[in-house]
Amino acid sequence: MSLLVAERIGVQFGGVKAVHDVSLSLERGQILGLIGPNGAGKTTLFNALTGFVPKASGKVLLENMDITNTPPFELPKLGVARTFQVERPFEDLTVLENVMISSFLKHSQPKAAKHHATDVLEKVGLLDRANQKCSELNLARRRRLEIGKALALEPKVLFLDEVIAGLNPPAQSEMIGFVKQLSETGIGIVMVEHIMRVIMTLSDRVICMAFGEKIAEGTPAEISNNPVVIDAYLGGGEDDD
């Protein structure tokens, strides 16, 4: 039984097919990379799988349970967590309070939630910032907070939407190591990322999307040598057709 299976997902905005017939499956402890040029539909696919955008077609199964039409706020209870491409901290709350909101999912008592959130902050290295307002964090810390909030939900599946792009090289390596560690604890991770090097080092398998469709799937080595993928990224010259 796979951890997460998505079958022939389709998303439509008016007459535009933003995502068309994309299927994927994910096992425990696996990292699935999602790449593709701008506008390929990666984030839309994320939003569809996490219930933020309605699906026109397809089916999503979490450990064989149908979660196709589960509203987004029910998914964390079932073990699905996500981050947003543009981080969305609750700006006026402190770092600790932000994570506590996640911790409340499994710990309804404020004391227990605070304790749990403190543990999570230690894990993502933000404990020294616990009482600071989120509006004052730098990008790297906002990213870590975003992941901390998702982790505090104690998920089985984690969707990471571009958590590495935009960070400086040392912060990138740090984040790569952190994501690797997470997958080793058994969490299944689906990640969108622009930086090839990152996707290639981290992913067990990679899906490449273009124009809303899946154009290739395979191991990082297979993908990086796939002519269709190279074509999608570098732009096929009309002369070749």
Partner 1 sequence: MIKNWHPMYTLALVIGLLALYPMFFGQFMNFGVATLLLAGFALSWDILGGWTGQNSLGHAAFVGVGAYTVTLLAERGVHPVLGALIGAALSSLLAWGWGAATFRLRGSYFTLSTIAVAEIIRLIILNESWLTGGAEGKFMPDLPKIFGFDLFDRKVEYYMVLLFVLLVLLFTHWMRYSRMGFYFKAVREDEDGAMALGVNPNKAKQLAFVCSAAFTGLGGAMYAIFLQAFEPETFLLIAFSIQVALLAIIGGRGTIYGPLVGAFLIAVPSEIFRDQLKEANLLVYGILIVVIVIYLPKGILGSLEYWAYRKNHPLEKGKV
Gap between the Cα atoms of 189 and 32, Å rounded = 6
Gap between the Cα atoms of 45 and 127, Å rounded = 33
Contacting partner 1 (CB under 8 A), which of 5, 61, 105, 200?
105
Binding to partner 1, residues 108-147 (CB under 8 A):
108, 110, 113, 131-133, 136, 138-139
Binding to partner 1, residues 199-218 (CB under 8 A):
none
Contacting partner 1 (CB under 8 A), which of 15, 16, 64, 71?
71
Can you tell me whether residue 160 is helix, strand or coil? strand
Gap between the Cα atoms of 156 and 19, Å rounded = 25
Q: How far is the CB of 222 from partner 1 (least distance, A)?
A: 33
CB of 20 or CB of 149, closer to partner 1:
149
CB count within 10 Å of CB 170 equals: 9
Gap between the Cα atoms of 112 and 127, Å rounded = 17
CB count within 10 Å of CB 182 equals: 21
CB count within 10 Å of CB 177 equals: 11
Gap between the Cα atoms of 54 and 66, Å rounded = 15
Q: How far is the CB of 159 from partner 1 (least distance, A)?
A: 10
78 and 72 in contact (C-beta within 8 Å)?
A: no
Gap between the Cα atoms of 84 and 154, Å rounded = 17
Binding-residue pattern over the window 31 to 70 for partner 1, x denoting contact by CB under 8 A: -------------------x-x------------------
Q: How far is the CB of 68 from partner 1 (least distance, A)?
A: 17
Helices 95-103 and 139-151 pack at an angle, to 10 degrees, of 20
Q: How far is the CB of 82 from partner 1 (least distance, A)?
A: 6
Q: How far is the CB of 223 from partner 1 (least distance, A)?
A: 29
Binding-residue pattern over the window 154 to 193 for partner 1, x denoting contact by CB under 8 A: ----------------------------------------
Q: How far is the CB of 108 from partner 1 (least distance, A)?
A: 6
Binding to partner 1, residues 74-103 (CB under 8 A):
74-77, 81-82, 84, 88-93, 97, 100-102
Spatial strand order in the sheet of 16-26: 16-26, 4-13, 57-62, 65-66
| Interacting residues toward partner 1 by CB under 8 A | 50, 52, 71-77, 81-82, 84, 88-93, 97, 100-102, 104-105, 108, 110, 113, 131-133, 136, 138-139, 149-150, 153
